[in-house]
Amino acid sequence: MLELYQKHLQQQLSAHQVLWYAAYKGEYGRKQWHTKLMNDWKVVDIGFPIGFDGRLHEETKAYFKKAQESDGLDPQVVLSIESAGKSRVHLLHDAISKKDWMQHWMKPWLHRQGVGERMVGAFTLSDESESYFLVDRPPGGPVFTDFDRKKFYDLLTSFPRLHYWLFLARGLVMPAQRPFTPREQQVVMMLIGTMPEQQIAKSLGLARGTVHNYISDIYKNFTVSSRYELVQLWLNHLPVD
């Protein structure tokens, strides 16, 4: 689902790659991967570009480490966090002047990643959950314009259910009461399909009793009592504007 949407954005916006960040402001389990941004916001999951080079995992971690230690975050991400609370799209010139960008450490870093131009879009789900998409063009490619901004905003806000599903599966929006662990996320995605409990256990290499406990915890977290009610969250419930 996420990859299909990334591909759609890539095609519609003449981009060469699209990244996704799950940004979250609430309490998050210590054993679950996350990296702090600012104003208590953190990245708790990343959807890398389609067909990405595996090195991007380490390069992304290195970026967050460098940003936190001394040089500061990508100015577009900073602006977007400061503007949290309403779905939006930012172009580079919204966040930093051309002169200052030429001196910013992020410019050569992006260039080494094959990025010459970027738009940052954020879809707001709640006061503590936002879905970020970073749309990139290569060095030497055309710059993004206000027309591209409007088109991106329309694409970003035309699929509210997709953003909701991405965050619901991770326990990052209501009615979830806490974020899911990576293993719980796997079980959730299998539960909304047709796979029986025994087959889920076999697929994950777990004992059936262990999977049953995971399922009970998932139901409790969503305040549902059956698989039918769980599926209804994906089919009917959309508590975002």
**pLDDT at residue 238, rounded to an integer:** 63
User: In this predicted structure, what is the pLDDT of residue 128?
Assistant: 94
pLDDT value at position 138?
95
Q: For residue 83, what pLDDT is reported?
A: 96
Q: Is 46 within 8 Å of 20 (Cβ atoms)?
A: yes
pLDDT tens string, the chain, 241 residues long: the values are 899 999 999 999 999 999 999 999 988 876 777 888 888 999 999 998 887 766 777 777 777 777 777 667 889 999 999 999 999 999 999 999 999 999 998 899 899 888 999 999 999 999 999 999 999 999 999 999 999 999 999 999 999 999 999 999 999 999 999 999 989 999 999 999 889 999 999 999 999 999 999 999 999 999 999 999 999 988 875 655 5
pLDDT for position 53:
67
Residue 205: which of 187, 178, 226 has the closest Cα?
A: 187
Helices (H) and strands (E) in the chain, counts: 12, 6
Does residue 94 contact residue 76 with C-beta atoms inside 8 Å?
A: yes
3 state DSSP class of 13:
coil
Domain segments of the chain as ranges = 2-159, 182-235
Domain 182-235: CATH class, spelled out: mainly alpha
Options 3.40.50.2300, 1.20.1440.230, 3.40.190.10, 3.30.450.80; CATH of 2-159? 3.30.450.80
Torsion sign across C-alpha atoms 174, 235, 237, 166: positive
Listed residue (79, 13, 1, 2) closest to 46, CA to CA: 2
